[in-house]
Structure 1
Amino acid sequence: MKTRARAILSVTAFGAVTALTLTGCSGGGDSASDADTITMLTAAAEGTPGGDVLRSVIADFEAESGITVELEVGGEDVPLVFETAAAAGEAPDIVNINAVRNPLTWIDAGLVVPVTDYLTDWGLADSALPAAIEEWTRDDGQLQGFPYEGYQWPIWYNTALFEEAGVEIPTTTDELIAAAAELRAAGIQPFAIGGNDWSGQKLFLQIAQSYLDADAARAIFSEGGWCASDDAMKGIELFTELRDAGVFVDNAEGLEASSMSAAFMTGDAAMMSAGSWELGNAPAELADSIQFGGLAVPSGGAFDAPTAYQGTANGFWISTNGAEKIDAVQKFITYMYSPEVAAQFVDQAQILTVIDVPADQLGTEVSPLLAQLTSELPTEVAYALQPDRYVPGDITEQQIRQTALAFAPGTSADSICAGLDSIYG
């Protein structure tokens, strides 16, 4: 059995940041120390909780350093926008994006530089939680970028809707099936999920590893072999059982993460699978009814408690252009890595960071939802293997298309496993 894991994310442990001058790092010439403008591409839009805090701290950085940060928003297409700009020789100096899919290939393609030495030489090695650094480190030992945001990724439960239907929060898949039936009988859609995008892919893989230990799940995520694994097939069959029992909302195969979130946040669905990045979108009137928990698990499976995901979200990648003005980039990264700045994301946007922040630098009152995620959830769940690090980046989009087919009613387990195996070549 898999034991319950401790959370890797903390907002209270102290981690000092020491400002050091750059020594022994690659990149930059005489112009590096003279740069007064750096450019950054991000998905953080203005008007979102995280996007507004980012702009606020950038304004403070500009006033303090005299360096201008030109911000470009790329939305969901940040990797494509960056790659297109790089092909034209106009890559932004910094990219603010997750370590998934295309970015995993950027070092090999010569689009970004490894930051292994920078982490140490800039005095930041003890600032980020070790698990975050490990997650962003390639198999060859190179650190791809500076991780920044962390996340907990639980199941969100609307307790008011469960009470209305007269059912308890499920901890086993049998209870989940029964709860979905009662919710539907009360006119309530059960489990919202974006079956047509990455959110559905992650939920599918969470269910599919229900009978796999971590080593087996890691191997299948990386190399395929779904049909040949009895335990993987049991997980896929469990998924089809949940799907065909009506656990997921109607037409889940055609929905995306945004519609999933909207269904839950408006009270139209009783459950969803979403990360802590959605905290800032939770309406005040719903907050008291939100309970975080794990995904119900089958008896005889690999986990001894309902499961959740945890890990890192976005961070800062340095392009080859950015390496040419590394002094200015260093000042920005070390500023962002300071506990005082990280605390603003926690306080104002309810965003977990991988930076250790002392308790006395947080606000006087931590959000009850944030407290649930950081204090209560880790004691109640087992952490499933987050697949993003192991599914090859060049097949992720194909896998999302295959898992979207899995959400379509009537798709058999044999068809699902064959489709998944086909993309591994």
Structure 2
Amino acid sequence: MRKGSQVMKRYGKKMTALLCAGTMAVTLLTGCSSGGDNAAVSQQPESTAVTGSEEKATTVVEAQPSASDVVLEVETIWTGDMLNGLQEIMDDFTAETGIGVELISPGDDYENVMKTRMASGDLPDLWETHGWSTTRYSEYLAPLNEETWVSHIKESIKKTVTDSQGNIYVVPLSIDPASICYNKEIFEEAGVDATTIRTWADFEAACDKILTTGKVPVYVGGKSVNNIANLFEVMAPGFLTNEDVADNQGAALLDGSFDWETNWTPMAQKLDDWLQKGYFNKDILTASDDSSIQALANGDGAIVISGNHTITQALSYNPDAKLGIMAIPSPNENGKVYVSSGEGTCYGMWKDSEYPDECRKLLEYLAKDEISIKIATINGKIPAMEGVTNDDEYVTKEFNIMSSAFGDDLLFVNYFDRAYLPSGMWNDMGVSGNEVFMNPGQGVGKCVETIKMAYDEKISQ
């Protein structure tokens, strides 16, 4: 272990940062609605991938005794069983190299903790970048272009983790594709074939059939604004920015000229229409994230719109559940279905770490085939390194089945919020969406007004 005085000094600084972040979190909750920003890893932070709990407190995992004086501090989004799995990997690293690793898991306060630590200049040796390696965190991270594993990064994720100067700041261990998760048994009972759902009109026809079975077509844990934001996250590319959109709005979103009333209203109106038709669970605004996962697992809800890791969580409740992955439909008859994707689990190293060589050793270790497979499998995602597969893992298998069914008619697009919205708007998508569900039949205008106001404020910053 690191010498006592060094450990205590580092620990004291760390706890000061965590306490400050806690104070910030209370202030934010007092002043406005709860929630983070785009860094909710769109499709939900991995911290929510914990069965049966909503982690709030910071967890400091005691490092395995090491043979050296170095203990690396690693900040992670993972909690619960996933954190335990990560700790086992870190313990193996310590046993192999003699370098200690102390995992810090702030849970839902991850963003507040990291923002406070960036402001104070006291950052961990390594941390999980949750989708923001090339923007928010790049000035604090060391470029890793010369590492041997860089040449093995899959092309499908390489562009995402490379900045405009060609720098890579993280080792990408998994890709986070997000589409729509569904219960196969409910679909079969309703006579619905997921591979025939190519447009939102097809989706609505499927929901009508599911209603006749007495099951909830679309179950949303709306107590968390993340899950409301997800509804817009999956719909927006097909309406606004995909390559097959005739009146593409990508440039307008980026330069501030986007007409929200004209272009966002159709999506908000569609959600209101679905609400009026009874597609959502009646307790949408109070249902927890966990309740939607249980509904999918236990056959009470047919569809959950979230990251594909939802399936891994659902199977922990019901290992016998038959679950699948749908592509995201297009609003247009001749449009292509699609899947959104971005950074999954990615770690970078602080450019001012006292232990750069040891940090690089840990990143190299995590990039090993057998380790990256473990990490991708634990969190239900797809390995990001060439030649590395976990095709036998349930989520990957279902994702491959879906991909094969659509072939060239399937687009892979970046997460909408990360590609086209100013930093900080993930939460705004969710808060504005609440207006639709709080005021059935009357909330569409307020929804659009709310998100436009947030956009106008943030695009000018």
State if a TM-score over 0.5 links the two structures: yes
The match for 1:374 among 387, 397, 400 is: 400
- Alignment correspondent of 2:152: 127
- Alignment correspondent of 2:374: 344
- Alignment correspondent of 1:356: 386
Identity of aligned residues (%): 18
The match for 1:388 among 417, 421, 434 is: 417
Asked whether the equivalents of residues 339 and 356 of structure 1 are also in contact (C-alpha less than 8 Å), the reply is no
Per-residue deviation at 1:376?
3.6
Asked whether the equivalents of residues 342 and 414 of structure 2 are also in contact (C-alpha less than 8 Å), the reply is no
The match for 1:191 among 207, 213, 218 is: 218
Instruction: Note the 1:76-225 alignment, pairs <5 A.
Output: 76-88=108-120, 90-100=122-132, 104-108=135-139, 112-115=140-143, 118-120=144-146, 122-169=147-194, 170-195=197-222, 196-214=224-242, 216-219=248-251, 221-223=253-255, 225=257
- Alignment correspondent of 1:241: 273
Change beyond 3 A, Cα 1:368–1:332: closer
Per-residue deviation at 1:54?
1.7
Change beyond 3 A, Cα 1:186–1:340: closer
Change beyond 3 A, Cα 1:53–1:246: same
2:365 equivalent to 1:335: yes
1:332-380 Cα deviation digits (max 9, x unpaired): 0011111121122355664322122446xx6xx8135421213543542
2:301 equivalent to 1:275: no
2:330 equivalent to 1:297: yes
Per-residue deviation at 1:200?
2.2
User: Could you tell me how far apart the structure 2 residues matched to 1:233 and 1:348 are?
Assistant: 38
**Residue type at the aligned position of 2:392:** V
Asked whether the equivalents of residues 191 and 270 of structure 1 are also in contact (C-alpha less than 8 Å), the reply is yes
Asked whether the equivalents of residues 225 and 421 of structure 1 are also in contact (C-alpha less than 8 Å), the reply is no
Per-residue deviation at 1:94?
0.9
Asked whether the equivalents of residues 142 and 350 of structure 2 are also in contact (C-alpha less than 8 Å), the reply is no
- Alignment correspondent of 2:350: 319
Provide the secondary structure at the position in 2 that maps to 1:312: coil
Change beyond 3 A, Cα 1:207–1:119: same
- Alignment correspondent of 1:56: 88
Asked whether the equivalents of residues 154 and 295 of structure 1 are also in contact (C-alpha less than 8 Å), the reply is yes
Change beyond 3 A, Cα 1:297–1:87: closer
User: Could you tell me how far apart the structure 2 residues matched to 1:347 and 1:107 are?
Assistant: 27
Change beyond 3 A, Cα 1:400–1:39: same
1:252-295 Cα deviation digits (max 9, x unpaired): 24445433223212322011122232343232756552121123
Change beyond 3 A, Cα 1:378–1:317: farther
User: Could you tell me how far apart the structure 2 residues matched to 1:217 and 1:312 are?
Assistant: 23
What RMSD in Å do the two structures reach over aligned CA positions? Answer: 3.1
User: Could you tell me how far apart the structure 2 residues matched to 1:351 and 1:385 are?
Assistant: 16
The match for 2:284 among 229, 252, 256 is: 252
**Residue type at the aligned position of 1:175:** D
Per-residue deviation at 1:168?
4.3
Asked whether the equivalents of residues 149 and 367 of structure 2 are also in contact (C-alpha less than 8 Å), the reply is yes
User: Could you tell me how far apart the structure 1 residues matched to 2:192 and 2:149 are?
Assistant: 48
**Residue type at the aligned position of 2:393:** S
**Residue type at the aligned position of 1:395:** M
1:79-128 Cα deviation digits (max 9, x unpaired): 2122334545542111124024x9942345xxx2242xx232x2222122
User: Could you tell me how far apart the structure 2 residues matched to 1:229 and 1:276 are?
Assistant: 31
The match for 1:44 among 69, 78, 81 is: 78
Per-residue deviation at 1:62?
0.5
Per-residue deviation at 1:235?
3.7
User: Could you tell me how far apart the structure 1 residues matched to 2:124 and 2:452 are?
Assistant: 37
Which blocks of at least 5 consecutive residues in structure 2 are unaligned? 1-67, 457-461
The normalised TM-score by structure 1 is 0.77
Change beyond 3 A, Cα 1:66–1:150: same
Per-residue deviation at 1:68?
0.2
Asked whether the equivalents of residues 224 and 420 of structure 1 are also in contact (C-alpha less than 8 Å), the reply is no
User: Could you tell me how far apart the structure 2 residues matched to 1:413 and 1:85 are?
Assistant: 38
User: Could you tell me how far apart the structure 2 residues matched to 1:257 and 1:224 are?
Assistant: 33
Asked whether the equivalents of residues 46 and 52 of structure 1 are also in contact (C-alpha less than 8 Å), the reply is yes
Per-residue deviation at 1:182?
3.5
User: Could you tell me how far apart the structure 2 residues matched to 1:56 and 1:231 are?
Assistant: 48
Change beyond 3 A, Cα 1:314–1:231: same
Asked whether the equivalents of residues 127 and 348 of structure 2 are also in contact (C-alpha less than 8 Å), the reply is yes
Asked whether the equivalents of residues 174 and 376 of structure 2 are also in contact (C-alpha less than 8 Å), the reply is no
User: Could you tell me how far apart the structure 2 residues matched to 1:191 and 1:114 are?
Assistant: 43
1:305-330 Cα deviation digits (max 9, x unpaired): 3x3322222311322442x3100101
Change beyond 3 A, Cα 1:226–1:88: closer
1:28-50 Cα deviation digits (max 9, x unpaired): xxxxxx862110011212423xx
Asked whether the equivalents of residues 42 and 96 of structure 1 are also in contact (C-alpha less than 8 Å), the reply is yes
Provide the secondary structure at the position in 1 that maps to 2:240: coil
User: Could you tell me how far apart the structure 2 residues matched to 1:367 and 1:343 are?
Assistant: 10
User: Could you tell me how far apart the structure 2 residues matched to 1:422 and 1:393 are?
Assistant: 14
- Alignment correspondent of 1:415: 446
User: Could you tell me how far apart the structure 1 residues matched to 2:433 and 2:258 are?
Assistant: 13
Which blocks of at least 5 consecutive residues in structure 1 are unaligned? 1-33
- Alignment correspondent of 1:3: none
Asked whether the equivalents of residues 190 and 213 of structure 2 are also in contact (C-alpha less than 8 Å), the reply is yes
Per-residue deviation at 1:59?
1.2
**Residue type at the aligned position of 2:314:** A
User: Could you tell me how far apart the structure 2 residues matched to 1:264 and 1:296 are?
Assistant: 20
- Alignment correspondent of 2:57: none
1:158-197 Cα deviation digits (max 9, x unpaired): 1212333444444432333233334334321110124442
1:134-156 Cα deviation digits (max 9, x unpaired): 21233454434332221221211
